[in-house]
C-alpha cells in the first residue's frame, strides 16, 4: 500500500510540475531576450544593406560610360551614405540598450549575466564595418568629379576631411572604451569564480542558430562586392546585381 501511495504521489508530483507556472521572471526574461534579438537583427540588416547598396552603386558609377550616366549614380551614392550613418547609429544604439537591459536583468534574477559573452568580438567587428562604410563614403566626391561637378566635389571633399578627423577621434575613443570594457569583463569573471547562475534560467542567453547560414551568405556577398570595389576581381554587371540581391535577401529573411 505504501508503494502504491508513493507511486501515486510521484505521478501527482509530475503533473503538478508540468502544469505549474513558469519561474519568477522567466516570461519577462524571454521577452527581453526576444526584443534584444530583434534589435540585433535590425542593426545587422541596416549594416549589411548600407554597405551592399553603397558598394554596388559606386561599382556601377565606376563603370558608367558618360558623365550623364555617372551623375545620378553619384547622387544616389551620396544619398545612401547620408541615410546610412543615422540609420546605423540608431539601430545599433537600440541594440546596445536592449542588450544592456537583458544583462542587467539576468544579473538581478540569476546572479550572473549569461548574455554579452561575445561582446569582445562583436564590437570590433561592428567597428570594422563602420570603418568600411566611412571609407566608401569618403570616395563619393570622386564620383561627382567624374560627373564634372567640380565645385560640388570640392565642397564634399572638405566635408569628408572634417568627417575623417571626427572618425579617427571616435576610433581612438572606441579602442580605449573597448579595452577598458574587456578588462572589466575579465576582472568580473575572475572575481565571480564562474558562478553557474540559476538552474531555472529558461534561456541561457543563447542566440538561435537557424539563421547562421543566411548570415554567412549575406557576409560572403558583401565581401565579394567589396572585393570588386577594391578591384580585386572584375565581375560582370549581372553578377554585381546578383550579389546585391543575395546580400539583401539573406539579411532580410534570416532569423525569421
pLDDT, averaged across the chain:
82
Which cell is 46 given?
541596416
Residue pLDDT, tens place only, 154-204: 999 999 888 888 888 988 888 888 888 778 777 766 665 444 445 555 554
pLDDT in tens, 12-63: 454 445 555 556 667 788 888 889 989 999 999 999 999 999 999 999 999 9
In the DSSP assignment, the letter for residue 234 is -
Model confidence at 206, pLDDT cuts 50, 70, 90, reads very low
**Model confidence pTM above 0.85:** no
Alpha-carbon gap, residue 38 to 255, rounded angstroms: 9
Segment 114-118 shows an average pLDDT of 69
Residue 176 has what pLDDT? 87
- Cβ-in-10-Å burial (0-12, 13-18, 19+) of 26 comes to middle
Grid coordinates representing 44 are 545587422
Most confident by average pLDDT, 90-94, 121-125, 207-211: 90-94
Domain residue ranges in the chain = 23-200
pLDDT, tens digit, for every residue of 131-155? 999 999 999 999 999 988 889 999 9
The per-residue pLDDT for range 225-235, each reduced to its tens digit, is 999 999 999 99
Amino acid at each position: 500500500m505504501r508503494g502504491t501511495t508513493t507511486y501515486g504521489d510521484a505521478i501527482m508530483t509530475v503533473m503538478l510540475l508540468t502544469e505549474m507556472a513558469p519561474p519568477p521572471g522567466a516570461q519577462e526574461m524571454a521577452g527581453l531576450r526576444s526584443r534584444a534579438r530583434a534589435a540585433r537583427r535590425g542593426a545587422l540588416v541596416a549594416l549589411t544593406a548600407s554597405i551592399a547598396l553603397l558598394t554596388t552603386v559606386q561599382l556601377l558609377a565606376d563603370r558608367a560610360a558618360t558623365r550623364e550616366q555617372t551623375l545620378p549614380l553619384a547622387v544616389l551614392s551620396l544619398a545612401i551614405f547620408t541615410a546610412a550613418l543615422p540609420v546605423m547609429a540608431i539601430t545599433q544604439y537600440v541594440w546596445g540598450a536592449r542588450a544592456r537591459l537583458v544583462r542587467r536583468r539576468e544579473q538581478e534574477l540569476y546572479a550572473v549575466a549569461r548574455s554579452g559573452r561575445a561582446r569582445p568580438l562583436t564590437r570590433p567587428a561592428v567597428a570594422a564595418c563602420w570603418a568600411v562604410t566611412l571609407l566608401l563614403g569618403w570616395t563619393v566626391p570622386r564620383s561627382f568629379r567624374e560627373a564634372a561637378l567640380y565645385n560640388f566635389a570640392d565642397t564634399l571633399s572638405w566635408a569628408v576631411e572634417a568627417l575623417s578627423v571626427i572618425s579617427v577621434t571616435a576610433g581612438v575613443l572606441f579602442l580605449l572604451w573597448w579595452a577598458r570594457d574587456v578588462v572589466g569583463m575579465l576582472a568580473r569573471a575572475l572575481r565571480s569564480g564562474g558562478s553557474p547562475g540559476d538552474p531555472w534560467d529558461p534561456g541561457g542567453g543563447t542566440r538561435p542558430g537557424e539563421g547562421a547560414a543566411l548570415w554567412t551568405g549575406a557576409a560572403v556577398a558583401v565581401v565579394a562586392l567589396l572585393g570588386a570595389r577594391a578591384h580585386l576581381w572584375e565581375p560582370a554587371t549581372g553578377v554585381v546585381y546578383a550579389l546585391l540581391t543575395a546580400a539583401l535577401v539573406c539579411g532580410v529573411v534570416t532569423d525569421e
